A and B are shown apart, each in its own frame.
Chain A
Amino acid sequence: QKEVEQNSGPLSVPEGAIASLNCTYSDRGSQSFFWYRQYSGKSPELIMSIYSNGDKEDGRFTAQLNKASQYVSLLIRDSQPSDSATYLCAVKASGGSYIPTFGRGTSLIVHP
């Protein structure tokens, strides 16, 4: 059973702070990792993809992957109230599977 675990939150941070969202996964064969943002009542929107160990930065977002420890994280710098949403972690195994495993998501609240 492949599992992806996220703290459901809510994670509350003040505006301008760094928000740190974490995700752990059980399948050591996982090769592809994705972070999605989902506003209430809307569909998930891809923020970041990461495939190799280390950090990947895109604007205010940084994804960090550590395959040895089986975790992937998302850092949001200079958090804004508009970042308030649920963040979903998704993991895909190797071997040609099209089917990702999603975590339950972490609710982030950025307060002014």
Chain B
Amino acid sequence: ETGVTQTPRHLVMGMTNKKSLKCEQHLGHNAMYWYKQSAKKPLELMFVYSLEERVENNSVPSRFSPECPNSSHLFLHLHTLQPEDSALYLCASSQAPNQPQHFGDGTRLSIL
């Protein structure tokens, strides 16, 4: 149990569907992150929120839309995704800039 919970664990969707990934952290951390990890590729930072304010948007296509309603919850809204978007999507949180990140178990996303 890492203190960061992601749902769902697995998601299969068509290219025209709309779905959302959810992340909740129970650690009292101030920052939350979305990462994408494709097979055989390194972690790709997508979005960073610090105290509910987006501080990083790493040139992510607009078909990915993040939402951070409070410091404990983070969503990633998905619409009209492409097959190359199939990947493991990881949420993480950290307490302070010099502190490590704690990762959730991830959502394995498959686009048909």
Contact = CB atoms under 8 A, between A and B. Distances in A.
Given A41-B88, A43-B104, A100-B101, 16 more contacts: A32-B98, A32-B99, A42-B105, A43-B90, A44-B90, A94-B98, A95-B97, A97-B97, A98-B48, A98-B50, A98-B94, A99-B45, A99-B55, A102-B42, A102-B43, A105-B42
Interface of A: 31-32, 34, 36, 41-46, 49, 51, 88, 90, 92, 94-100, 102-105
B23 to A, nearest CB: 12
A33 B107 CA distance: 26
Mostly helix, strand, loop or mixed at chain B's interface? strand
A98 B105 contact: no
B43 A43 contact: no
B44 to A, nearest CB: 9
Most chain A CB neighbours (cut-off 10 Å) among B50, B98, B108: B98
Nearest to A34: B100
20 contacts: A31-B98, A32-B97, A32-B98, A41-B88, A41-B108, A42-B105, A43-B103, A43-B106, A44-B43, A45-B2, A46-B101, A46-B102, A94-B98, A96-B97, A97-B97, A98-B50, A98-B94, A100-B101, A103-B42, A105-B42
